[in-house]
Amino acid sequence: MTTPRSMSALIAALLFPAALLLAEDVPAYRDVSKPQAVRIQDLISRMTLEEKASMMTNSTPGVPRLGIPKYDWWSEALHGVANAGTATVFPQAIGLAAMWDDSLQGEIAHVIGVEGRAKFNGYRGTPQEGTIFHGLTFWSPNINIFRDPRWGRGQETYGEDPFLTARLGVAFVRGLQGDDKDYLLASACAKHFAVHSGPESLRHNFDVSPSEADLREIYLPAFEALVREAHVEVVMTAYNALNGTPCSISPLLYGLLKEWGFDGHVTSDCGSVDDLVHTYRRAANHLEANVLTTRAGMNVRCGGDTSTFVQAVRTGQLSDADIDHRVYPLLRTMFRLGFFDPQDRVPFNAIAPSENDSKPHGDLALKAARESLVLLKNDGILPLAPKKLQRIAVIGPNANSVPSLVGNYNGQPSAPITVLTGLKAALEPLGVQVAYAHGIDYSTRPDRFRPIPQPWFRGDYFANPTLSGSPVAQRTERPLCLSCNPGGLPPGVPEAGISVRWTGELQTTLAGEYQFQIRGRGGFRLYLDDALVLDAWVPPAGDEAREREVTVARVLPDNTSLPIRLEYAQGHGQSSVVLEWKTPAVELHEAEALAVAKTADLIVFVGGLSAQLEGEEMAVDYDGFNGGDRLRIELPQLQQRFLEKLHATGKPMVFVNLSGSAVAFPWAKENANAVLQAWYPGQAGGTAVADVLLGTYNPAGRLPLTFYRATEDLPDFQNYEMKGRTYRYFKGAPLYPFGHGLSYTTFAYGELQTKRLPDGSVAASLTVTNRGDRDGDEVVQLYATPPAETHPREIVALCGFRRVHLAKGEAQKVELIVPASALRRWSDAEKAFQVPHGSWTFQAGASSADLRQKATLTF
């Protein structure tokens, strides 16, 4: 007789082998109960050499048989998800720094991470999945020190001070990566490691040799903080060399990452491994360059052919273990992002695509824009009194410019508000007329075809002349000039019988006729907004190898972003193509603009610069600019002369300066009634500017860098010594000092009290009182000066800050902790950091030049 118990035993015996087989079918790397290290090692053990090597370039094809997804390590999120369509666009990074608000900085970064996940989740099953700019490994933030205002990429940084940069960088990384104990919301990247700040035209072969004290005290602290405190997932090496060694293979830099406990992965900047061959001459070919970087510690190359890794192993120049060691951190990043776990186990998979560009995120962009605005001067004209105005004139090249809202490394705002739009929306309902005239250009420029100021074009290269199949290489081009690249064609691309598809986003600034010219050998097709506008795909018979020139014109609206695509093919082995444009002539009808000004009660001149003039390694032929950098820091002469003519009308004038860097405008300081520094303020910039000018919002932004009076105040651009630079070491009189910013109310500072804590940090406290008749924010700044007998070169150094909100009449005790790391100084004698003994001075105030309370401590 079969009992129930015996029947159960029989069933169990029959099912046990099946269960065992099922358990064996689940690979260890898919088993979420196992330690992550075990899972990664198991996955590596199942991969072929070719599959592992394929992981080590930014565009990896994936390994479908193992469930490793196709993925591109390169995405951007400097002040919003960039280069991937619509996203919330916050103020440019230098504007975020001007908030002096690390709490809001973290909140913004978290929103960027959420939008990155929202977009990533929405890409599943679409052609964008796994492609460049559509991932979760964001190569942001840029924490280089903005040591010289001529550097075009300084706008991407948090300013000139290492302490402020570190605090804002840590907040950004923590916000972007999230605080889940198991998974990253997104991955952040500290770049460019290290000592990198121009000139852009020399960055591929420039050797930087700062003093050891400058290196340790100024250029490196932010990187150390992001590694030790924020556990940043990625570090990007810089293009330049440091003390004779390219950063991509620097033993010093890789050694510091190990010393700091870095457990993420290292990526190159795009094309920098090629620089080892073409400019630094450290390697004879790409194989040798990849061997050098792999041995040094690099995990990902942006651009390049991974077949050389396989060749290096098979010829004994690298071992299998070398490849395993470099692939391990890459897979670890993927595990941390949840790529190998069940969908419902990763909480961020539930973020809906609709979270991108949501209203709450737009509200936050407006808040950030308001906090970023710095009131530099006000003779009492602000806030404006609409009841006393009938008509204002809004004039200038940035008055109605979307590119000057968004800066560089930006997403596309769905509803950008220019300064003109913001002022019209605020004033016209109150019965104030708002008249507009563009007036002038930023600076003088030649009337000729010139490179398109596109941040970059992505080039997909095919080993056939028909754009068929999958590309064999990808590369970014800046400008789009194939014959200009010192390295020639990308590795793996044959000399003859090729085709290329370049894609990018074209941004117009003015309405009118745009002319596009293509020069080169072969066939061309040009598309604007996905419409074919020029078809020269088949060269005339017998002219396949002869250079030709084709031109097309199109009328385009202003402030419009539209896709641009150039397709190219050649079968003869002489690759050559250049794409350039002519923009509409700016109507230099100064008389018309002056006439508008004369009919107004008030002039708002909105000038400055644009990210189409200052930025990353780009061809710019405006007077006063070179390769993305500025030759002089003064306001361009064209604008200066026009400002003087506006002033001569006798009308009161407010100067709103949009720029990503410090501009010298001493005339405006003396003659304009008010000066507002607006940076590149993001999608809501126009609303924020209007709110400040009308007093709806009380400004409290502070300068994260020094505004100098003239170019002559600066040392040579190529000199990386800090002597005479930044508020710490500049002994002259600045136009506006580091930390400066005005308010519509006034604040009083009580006695500063300090004490040393057992862990070596310093506690500081004081009471701040709002003595005015408006609510407002005050940014309390604390500066330290080490003993003069041991460190005479340093004037003051920021060591603490806090942005606080005070209602009118309110008093608040502000407490700051100065970390011990902010007090250490490098000792050349000991080759180590020390906290200098002696009398330290601590000062609190409203800027580096407005220090109101002092205390001393003896160490």
Q: What is the phi/psi pair of residue 267, to 5°?
A: -120, 155
CA distance 398 to 420: 9
CA distance 113 to 133: 14
The domain over range 39-350 is classified in CATH as 3.20.20.300: yes
pLDDT at 541: 64
Cα-based angle 208, 214, 217 (whole degrees, multiple of 5) = 135
User: Can you point out the beta strands (E) in 497-560?
Assistant: 498-507, 512-521, 523-528, 531-536, 548-556
Catalytic positions:
269, 614
Each residue's pLDDT tens digit, 592-641: 899 999 999 999 999 999 999 999 998 888 899 999 999 999 999 999 99
Query: What sign results for the dihedral spanned by CA atoms 296, 297, 301, 307?
Result: positive
pLDDT at 21: 39
Q: Counting beta carbons within 10 angstroms of the beta carbon of residue 344, is it exposed (0 to 12), middle (13 to 18) or buried (19 or more)?
A: exposed
Listed as ranges, residues in the chain with pLDDT below 70 are 1-24, 454-455, 483, 485-487, 540-545, 587-589
Counting Cα atoms < 13 Å in the Cβ hemisphere of 702 gives: 25
CA distance 399 to 385: 21
Distances (CA, A) of 766 to 477, 760, 782, 796: 53, 20, 11, 19
Return the axis-axis angle of helices 307-314 and 286-296, rounded to nearest 10°: 80
Residue 240 carries which side chain, given as an amino acid letter? N
pLDDT at 619: 83
Show the tokens assigned to 820.
């011990």
Each residue's pLDDT tens digit, 392-420: 999 999 999 999 999 999 999 999 999 99
Q: Are 681 and 688 in contact (CB under 8 A)?
A: yes
CB neighbour burial string for 162-196, b if at least 16 within 10 angstroms, e if fewer: bbbbbbbbbbbbbbbbbeeeebbbbbbbbbbbbbb
Domain spans of the chain? 39-350, 361-446+586-705, 457-582, 747-858
CATH fold group of domain 747-858: Immunoglobulin-like (2.60.40)
pLDDT at 592: 86
Show the tokens assigned to 858.
């003896």
pLDDT at 12: 45
Each residue's pLDDT tens digit, 184-196: 999 999 999 999 9
Three-state secondary-structure class, residue 43: helix
Query: What sign results for the dihedral spanned by CA atoms 338, 342, 346, 351?
Result: positive
pTM > 0.75: yes
Show the tokens assigned to 350.
């539930």
383 preceded by a cis bond (ω within 30 of 0): yes
> Which residue's entry shows tokens 């700091």?
260
Select from 3.40.50.20, 3.40.50.920, 3.40.50.1700, 3.40.50.720 the CATH code of 361-446+586-705.
3.40.50.1700
pLDDT at 8: 45
Three-state secondary-structure class, residue 415: coil
Tally Cβ neighbours within 10 Å of residue 123.
17
* Closest C-alpha to 423, from 145, 703, 696, 128: 696
Domain 457-582 classification at class level: mainly beta
